[in-house]
Structure 1
Amino acid sequence: MSRRTEQHPDPTDPRIGAPFFSTWRVGTPERQRQTVEAIGRTWERRPWPTRDLLGYHVYAGQDGSTLMHYSQWTGEQAYESFVKAHRQERVDEIDTAVPGIERVELGRYQHYRSRERAVGDRRVPGLIVTVRVDFEGRAEARREEWVDLVLKAVDGDPQGHAGLMSAHFHLSTDGGHVLNYAEWESAEAYEGVLAAPSTDSWERVRTYPGLQGVTGSRYEHALGLVPD
């Protein structure tokens, strides 16, 4: 069966072969809450669809309008099998409870590198930030080098990034962008980093050749579902 968990997911789990991130637009904070409740009810009353789904987490956007979904699959084929056998009945039940949900995008990724939590760090993230970085053309090699530069810049400023608990960089399978899923201690810690003066390392990150656009979003963990 499906059960709820308060524990945040571990994007570095070596069993994950296909991490998926998707966005729903629901319109208002009240509809965010209603949709999260509907997702929880829908999944809890059904058996867990497959052991190849390691976890499914939903996040409420601080914009008051969106939900982000993060699902951890052992491989893309497992997801495709779920779509054929189990997805539609869940979608129908959720849409009946909260009509008018707009399913904006499903992104397929491969995990590339992480700045993992320090050993013994048991803090609960107060803020989840995703940053999507688009590149010109199909720039797989550039994406990896850019991520390496980011991690080098973070490691070079440990005091300034003390509120950053972890950062997990994913490469889109279409070759176009990078998605960073980051756990922050608090919104204040994140704001402090944004307001800090730039450094040479961060200028190299920001002016990297082929960089096309950057989009950041802020979330709170709203629902975690795992197999019982």
Structure 2
Amino acid sequence: MPIISKTNDVVTVIFSFAVEPEQQQELIDRMIDALETTTRHQPGFVCASFHKSLDGVRVFNYAQWRTQADYETFAQSAQDRAIATQLSQFQLRDSHIYEVVISKPDDADLRIRKGDRIHFAEFRVKPENQQRLIDLERENVEIALQHPDLMSANFHRSLDGTRTANYGQWRSLDNFDALLKEPKYESVREYWKGLAENEFHLYEVVYTEPSE
């Protein structure tokens, strides 16, 4: 199963789609079919996990490859072009290659399992501001982890310098709004302003390869 870790000798590829709620399951089904018939057989493929937003408007894939070269070879192949054709009716919002730079707490279980509920926050940033944003994420992550239901926060930086992303694993999302409203978390809601544009959604993991 996928494991998020700074010590994994892999690169992470995250791509996300915007969908109409009535199209969300169709996109997931097509992505699963493409993965099972093509992607998982490619040299360098390690794992993938598909996520659907609870509001129905996003789908994203968190995938790991042995090396950036392995992924780029596949991305330039006829097989990947065929997959792109299969998914062309859906709006690809973002696609970047990342590395994990912060995983807290140190003893967290970082496996991605089907049925998990997570939040995924994407930050668009200018390359000259990316490291400053990461430093602020590192400063504020311990405050966010005071929320009793947040199990881990895992920050990634895109290799092109234009993104950071937080994959947050939760015991339950029932009290997620506390992070958005309670005064104790105010700095968590504010640290990125003036440096980046932020968008987040709440998700369920619907598929992993390999599975448990």
Do they fold alike, i.e. is TM over 0.5?
yes
Q: How does 1:130-141 map to 2 (within 5 A)?
A: 130-135=120-125, 138-141=128-131
Asked if 1:168 corresponds to 2:168, the answer is no
> Displacement of 1:116 after TM fit?
4.2
> Displacement of 1:164 after TM fit?
0.6
Question: Which residue pairs with 1:220 in the alignment?
Answer: 204
TM-score for the superposition, normalised by structure 2: 0.82
- The 3 A distance-change label for structure 1 pair 69 and 61 is same
> Displacement of 1:209 after TM fit?
7.7
- Code of the residue aligned with 1:88 in structure 2: it is R
Question: Which residue pairs with 1:146 in the alignment?
Answer: 136
TM-score for the superposition, normalised by structure 1: 0.77
Q: What is the CA deviation profile of residues 29-82 of structure 1, one whole-angstrom value per residue up to 9, with x for unaligned ones?
A: 3x2112212222233234733352211111112231221111112221111111
**How many residue pairs were aligned?**
210
Question: Which residue pairs with 1:114 in the alignment?
Answer: 103
Q: Distance in 1 between matches of 2:132 and 2:188?
A: 13
Q: Distance in 2 between matches of 1:21 and 1:81?
A: 16
Give the secondary structure class of the aligned counterpart of 2:5: coil
Give the secondary structure class of the aligned counterpart of 2:175: helix
- The 3 A distance-change label for structure 1 pair 214 and 90 is closer
Residue 50 of structure 2 is aligned with which of 50, 53, 58?
Answer: 58
> Displacement of 1:121 after TM fit?
9.5
Q: Distance in 1 between matches of 2:188 and 2:26?
A: 43
Q: Which structure 1 residue ranges, 5 or more long, are not aligned?
A: 1-6
Contact kept in structure 2, 1:60 and 1:219, CA below 8 Å: yes
Question: Which residue pairs with 1:42 in the alignment?
Answer: 34
Residue 72 of structure 2 is aligned with which of 80, 98, 101?
Answer: 80
Q: What is the CA deviation profile of residues 72-128 of structure 1, one whole-angstrom value per residue up to 9, with x for unaligned ones?
A: 122211111112333123333x34xxx621212212212101014746799976421
Asked if 1:33 corresponds to 2:33, the answer is no
Q: Distance in 2 between matches of 1:74 and 1:122?
A: 17
Q: Percent identity?
A: 18
What is the aligned-residue RMSD (CA, Å)? Answer: 3.1
> Displacement of 1:212 after TM fit?
3.3
Instruction: Please identify the structure whose Cα radius of gyration is greater.
Output: 1
Contact kept in structure 2, 1:126 and 1:187, CA below 8 Å: no
Contact kept in structure 1, 2:5 and 2:110, CA below 8 Å: no
Q: Distance in 2 between matches of 1:33 and 1:206?
A: 34
- The 3 A distance-change label for structure 1 pair 22 and 209 is closer
Contact kept in structure 2, 1:18 and 1:72, CA below 8 Å: yes
Q: Distance in 2 between matches of 1:187 and 1:194?
A: 12
Q: Distance in 1 between matches of 2:7 and 2:205?
A: 22
Asked if 1:191 corresponds to 2:177, the answer is yes
Give the secondary structure class of the aligned counterpart of 1:59: strand
Contact kept in structure 1, 2:3 and 2:112, CA below 8 Å: no
Q: Distance in 2 between matches of 1:35 and 1:84?
A: 22
Q: Distance in 2 between matches of 1:216 and 1:197?
A: 20
Q: Which structure 2 residue ranges, 5 or more long, are not aligned?
A: none
Q: 129-138 or 118-127, which moves further after superposition? A: 118-127
